[in-house]
Structure 1
Amino acid sequence: MKRKFLNILLALPLLFSGKVMHAQERDLSLAEALAMAAKGNKELQIQTLEEIRYKEISRETKSRLLPSISATAGYSRYFDRQVIFLPGSFAGTDKAVEDVAVGGKNAFNGFLSLNQPVFMQNARRQKEAALINEKIQKEKTIDLESQLAFQISSSYFQLLLMSNQLNLQQQSLSRNVRALVDTRALFAQGRSLKVDTLRSFIAVENLKSSISYLRNNIEVSGIQLKRLIGLNESVVIKPTDSLNVELNQAESYTLDQALKTAELNRHDIRLQKLSIEQEEKLLSASKAERLPQASIIGQYQLQAQADHLRLGSYTLPRTSFLGFQLTVPIFNGNRTNAQINQAKIKVRQESIRLNDVKEEMNAELAAIISRWKEANTQLHIHQTTVDAAALNYTMMNDRYKNGLSSRLELTDAELALTQGKISYLQAVYHLKLLYVELQRSLGLLKL
């Protein structure tokens, strides 16, 4: 009984360790990866916080147009009484000016102040510029999401490509190991040359090297993808999507249609238009520095003075007023003119940049559509090649089984079939990657 109990105790750690190892593996589709990145990507989190920060900047800018109310209280202890200067006749002396000590040695005062801007055009226009800046940050967030979606899609497809290549290489290794065993057996019987055995051995070792290289690249690509989507580094990703070709929405796009779609949806163009609008508002705000400013001001004040600190016996005389204040700028050393000229230059720069972005968009879309057409052509060529290589391998395998061809011919046919399948996978990968790139260039790619 004790022995059985001991065996159970020894088996428990192995059981739980197996569960932990299994828990470290995760099947992941592209849609799941994009959804995880929307919540877990650090760069996107930073940009989201930046968007919130600019909302607070807008609130700060709006505050310049709201009433400002402040309360102030103070206490002063005078070791010598305060002095005022009066005509001597007022003070009962013959001097032209006489200094007279007045007030108590303990002075208390408190007042409530009000300032309400009535006309302040520069603050109003800066508020409008701040609201545009909020929109810019929102567009930056959406643009970053589009870039992340492209990076994640390309990393996922690359991982998927290498996983499929690894499966093909492992299948090829299995066939070549069998070929090496057969060649060695034939060589031992004197029915094969040593060079055939050596060639089979080299083929097996080359495949082992390729498999090792692919596994390392899969690990590196997995690390990069996990960083993008915010997944724990200890988790092993297993892509579940396939490299099947879905023919395809992109074929319906002509260059003119693509340009019109991109003009409406691309976030960099929206950003640039908003930047121009913002600089125009800042130019308007600089011009508003020349305008007068008007405010309603008011104050309510309490004060008391005495030589003692018996606060209950203090009198509290009140002073209050409400008024209107007008400020007219006359000359500030040409500072306003310099700011206006700077703002005009910025507007011109942003307009030139918008034209440059549009020209870059035109060239980018023309190149992608051209590459898309070529990728489709290459895919059909590689599909034909794979079909021919598969037929050739089947024929060579039948001939070899019937003693009509050599093992070397069968090995060459197997190598041609594997290379053809790998080339086809790469063609599918490039086609899917181009489609994602086209969607991003059109402004249609989102997390």
Structure 2
Amino acid sequence: MRHTTYIITSFLAIPFLSLQLAKAQVRQLTMDNAVKLAIDKNRDLQVATLETAKAAQKVQEARGYGLPTVAASAQYLYYFNKQVSFLPGSFVGLGDDQLATFRVGGANAFLGGVAVSQPLFQTSVRSGIKVAQIDGLATDQALADVRATVVTDVKKAYLDVLITQEQLRLQQQSITRNEQALKDARSLLAQGRASRVDTLRAFVTVENLRPTLIQLTNRIGIAKTVLKRTVGLDEREEIDLQDSLRYDDALFVSPGTDAFLDAVQARPEVRRLELIEQLNREQIALQAAEKQPKLAAIGSVLSQSQANNFRLGDYRWPVSSYLGLQLSVPIFTGFRTNSRIQQAQVTRQQTEKQLANLKEIVRAQVKIGLANVQEARLRIQSQQQTISVAELGYRITRDRWKQGIASRLELTDAELSLTQAKSNYLQAVYDYLTATVELDKVLGRIK
């Protein structure tokens, strides 16, 4: 009997343990935590971070062109016909205008050596290092731009979930009010103080609101999916948002008197284009350096031997070596260098135009962002008063309807006005928070 009781108790405990395990697997997520997770897990940000690592290696590669180059080589040759040497014919009794041929060397030939080259004067090396360094700085700014975009996207996705949850709660409140109205209509109908039409209209109103609950529930799941993808979380992981959609004007930090100049100095994409403009100037210098002479110190140590057998111990390995200077002066390259210089100049001009255009875009974004924040603040202030009036109007109309003074249609309009007022206020708060998030990105406040 004890064993049976133990088995039944364990069996009943399984659903409870499964429920507790499911709850334990739900990630509690605040907006700040979501941002921190995204910085660590977002795949676009990871790609941009790897790009900065690649840029650092490009600097090392550019510096490597100024370091010595050492190459070792080894070669084995088998001669089916031995090498031929030509000597004057007089050496073997032939005429002076004739040549004598001799086959010399062994069938097996071995050759090995080490060659060294050290650039001494090569202006392209210095320009190449500068190009790589500026490119690395531009890549850092690109990473900062991606980070700002990811942070903005995460915050907006978080707010999307919050407003959808609030819309669901608002819809449930509306259904609750209409269900109470239906209950009152049935009670009044039983007392003979309301018509059957009013009761039917109240029932239809409640049922018409229920499909919206299904839509909003589905939209919450979609919004959470977008948030998890943006953060970089596993799609199967459950999340529970801890923040709420609320208006706090104290959180808004007003920009300075000249917000545009502050934004231009802080925006990473502006700084990136400025660095690319510098990069293009160095590219011109790099291409022009190809017209300059190049001087390098060269050296080589070479050993070779030949024989008709493979008794390597009997081979002789004479060594030859040299050390010298090599000067290379470009004279004519088929106008290729001039063409590359012209291309670099055109690219620089394009970057200048892009930079000027981006600054105008930033100016417009700052103006629009500030206007959106101000508009949302005014709407919030207006809707706060509207909600109070709508709540009072709904209570008065409901009491008048219970007394038989007001019609069912008036009550429906009052409830709809209250729901609309709360919905407008909710949308205004969402727009305000979204506008402030977007404004932070526009002003370059996201570091």
TM value normalised by structure 1: 0.94
Work out the CA distance in 2 between the residues paired with 1:251 and 1:201. Answer: 48
Alpha carbons 1:24, 1:234 under 8 Å: kept: no
Match of 1:298 in 2: 299
Work out the CA distance in 2 between the residues paired with 1:75 and 1:430. Answer: 78
Match of 2:334 in 1: 333
Range with greater deviation from structure 2 (222-231 or 182-191): 182-191
Match of 1:174 in 2: 176
Question: By how many angstroms is 1:121 displaced?
Answer: 1.1
Match of 1:195 in 2: 197
Work out the CA distance in 2 between the residues paired with 1:206 and 1:24. Answer: 36
Question: By how many angstroms is 1:43 displaced?
Answer: 1.3
Matched, 1:283 2:284: yes
Total equivalences in the alignment: 445
User: What are the ranges of 5 or more consecutive residues in structure 2 without an aligned counterpart?
Assistant: none
Work out the CA distance in 1 between the residues paired with 2:162 and 2:92. Answer: 101
Matched, 1:66 2:33: no
Question: By how many angstroms is 1:62 displaced?
Answer: 2.1
Counterpart of 2:106 in 1: which secondary structure? coil
Match of 1:221 in 2: 223
Work out the CA distance in 1 between the residues paired with 2:164 and 2:426. Answer: 9
Work out the CA distance in 2 between the residues paired with 1:266 and 1:250. Answer: 19
Range with greater deviation from structure 2 (184-193 or 62-71): 184-193
Counterpart of 2:322 in 1: which secondary structure? strand
AA of the residue aligned to 1:210: T
Matched, 1:23 2:24: yes
Alpha carbons 1:187, 1:197 under 8 Å: kept: yes
Work out the CA distance in 2 between the residues paired with 1:231 and 1:252. Answer: 34
Match of 1:374 in 2: 375
Query: Structure 1 residues 181 and 394 mapped into 2: Cα distance closer, same or farther (>3 Å)?
Result: closer
Question: By how many angstroms is 1:156 displaced?
Answer: 0.8
Work out the CA distance in 2 between the residues paired with 1:125 and 1:399. Answer: 86
Question: By how many angstroms is 1:404 displaced?
Answer: 5.7
Counterpart of 1:289 in 2: which secondary structure? helix
Work out the CA distance in 1 between the residues paired with 2:10 and 2:93. Answer: 111
Question: By how many angstroms is 1:402 displaced?
Answer: 6.3
Matches within 5 A, 1:342-421: 342-399=343-400, 405=406, 409-421=410-422
Range with greater deviation from structure 2 (426-435 or 94-103): 94-103
Range with greater deviation from structure 2 (34-43 or 385-394): 385-394
Matches within 5 A, 1:51-130: 51-94=52-95, 96-130=98-132
Alpha carbons 2:89, 2:95 under 8 Å: kept: yes
Match of 1:142 in 2: 144
Query: Structure 1 residues 76 and 125 mapped into 2: Cα distance closer, same or farther (>3 Å)?
Result: same
Counterpart of 2:158 in 1: which secondary structure? helix
Alpha carbons 2:193, 2:404 under 8 Å: kept: no
Range with greater deviation from structure 2 (193-202 or 38-47): 193-202
Match of 2:248 in 1: 246
Alpha carbons 2:27, 2:237 under 8 Å: kept: yes
User: What are the ranges of 5 or more consecutive residues in structure 1 without an aligned counterpart?
Assistant: none
Work out the CA distance in 2 between the residues paired with 1:221 and 1:92. Answer: 101
Alpha carbons 1:27, 1:237 under 8 Å: kept: yes
CA displacement 1:48-81 (0-9 Å, x = unmatched):
1122122222222222111000111112122222
Alpha carbons 1:81, 1:101 under 8 Å: kept: yes
Counterpart of 1:220 in 2: which secondary structure? helix
Query: Structure 1 residues 346 and 442 mapped into 2: Cα distance closer, same or farther (>3 Å)?
Result: same
Matched, 1:160 2:181: no
Question: By how many angstroms is 1:149 displaced?
Answer: 1.0
Work out the CA distance in 1 between the residues paired with 2:250 and 2:268. Answer: 24
The percent of aligned pairs where both chains have the same amino acid is 37
TM value normalised by structure 2: 0.94
Question: By how many angstroms is 1:100 displaced?
Answer: 1.2
CA displacement 1:366-419 (0-9 Å, x = unmatched):
111122222211111111101211222344455556666556544443332222
